[in-house]
Amino acid sequence: MARDLEAYLRSDVKSTPFCPGCGHGILMNAILRAIDELKLPMDKMLFVSGIGCAAWIPSPNFNADTLHTLHGRALAFATGAKMFNPELKVVVISGDGDLTSIGGNHLIHAARRDMDMTVICANNMIYGMTGGQVASTTPLGASTATSVEGNIYRPFDLCKLVQAAGASYVARYSVTQVVSLKEAIKKAMSTKGFTFVEVLSPCPTQFGRRNQYDSPTDMLKTLMESCIPVEEVERLSGEALKDKIVTGEFIHG
């Protein structure tokens, strides 16, 4: 982490727990840069997370109030805290399995209520911490510890899901698109209501090694090439869109 962001980190935390090549460190950087540029006071910020690798982005690293909750329930805890003290700037940071599978019901209801908080969903398309099992976000055909011959189910489109549920701001970027990602987080944090940023973050340890990626850089490169801006989608045919990940802002003020 860059020196200029040290003030946002707890002094007694010396390193992050992430594997080499994990995208969560880049995301952590983008979140803190967004906060720094928006000049948000850390004393009034509450970071809520569930269980999983991404839940360790804020807890214990961020030098603010942090609430590390139960698997899937971050949004329910966050709702109680925000409802009781609306002055808290609430940011939920957690993984895809946590927020959209075990916590899927809370996600759509928090979006439906347009609960005033920002949700950053680090999507690595797999259950990383528990050893690489198939997730509700695993691409069709991908190999995991519980879908060795390839995932037979379609993944959720998380942005469409929260958009349909009523979110006020919805965007998707990859950790390879750092500037756009940081700007999207800033926009999410400055928009009132339920704001959602899906962040594609590679998991070389659990996803990469099962899906023929030679190295973390290989995985990052493929991710970079897979992302296409939402503005380009209309110009491309169905075949050209195959295996592509659409990035950009889907709902914005």
Partner 1 sequence: MSVQEIESTLPAGSYYFSGNEAATEGAIAAGCRYYGGYPITPSSEIMERIAVRLKEVGGVFIQMEDEIASICSVIGAVWAGAKAMTATAGPGFSLMQEAIGYAAFTETPLVIVDVQRAGPGTGQATRVGSGDHMQAKWGSHGDYQVITLSPWSVQEMYDQAIEAFNLAEQYRVPVFVMSEEAVGHLRERMDVKPRLKIVNRLKKKGAPPFGTPEDDGVPPMPAFGEGERLLVTGSTHNDVGIRKTDDGKAHEKLVVRINNKILKHRESIIQNEAHSLDDAEVVVVSYGFTARSALFAVQALRKDGKRVGLLRLKTIWPFAEELVRDLGRKAKRILVPEMNRGQIAGEIQKYAGCDVVSYCQTDGEIIHPHTIVEEVRSLL
CB of 10 to partner 1, least distance (A): 8
| DSSP H helices in 85-145 | 96, 104-112
Nearest to partner 1 of 82, 182 (CB atom): 82
Nearest to partner 1 of 34, 46 (CB atom): 46
CB of 110 to partner 1, least distance (A): 9
Nearest to partner 1 of 73, 172 (CB atom): 73
Nearest one of 197, 166, 162 to 180, comparing CA atoms: 197
CB of 108 to partner 1, least distance (A): 8
CB of 117 to partner 1, least distance (A): 11
Nearest one of 69, 173, 46, 36 to 116, comparing CA atoms: 46
Helix (H) or strand (E) holding 92: strand 89-95
CB of 54 to partner 1, least distance (A): 15
Nearest to partner 1 of 55, 125 (CB atom): 55
- Amino acid sitting at position 252: H
CB of 248 to partner 1, least distance (A): 30
Structure tokens at 218: 């290989």
Nearest to partner 1 of 102, 251 (CB atom): 102
Structure tokens at 14: 């010396």
Nearest to partner 1 of 64, 171 (CB atom): 64
Cα angle value 243/244/248 (rounded, 5°): 155
Distance, CA of 223 to CA of 214 (rounded, Å)? 13
CB of 38 to partner 1, least distance (A): 18
Task: List interacting residues with partner 1 (CB under 8 A).
Answer: 10, 12, 42-44, 46, 48, 59-60, 63-70, 73, 76-85, 87-88, 105-106, 109
Nearest to partner 1 of 72, 155 (CB atom): 72
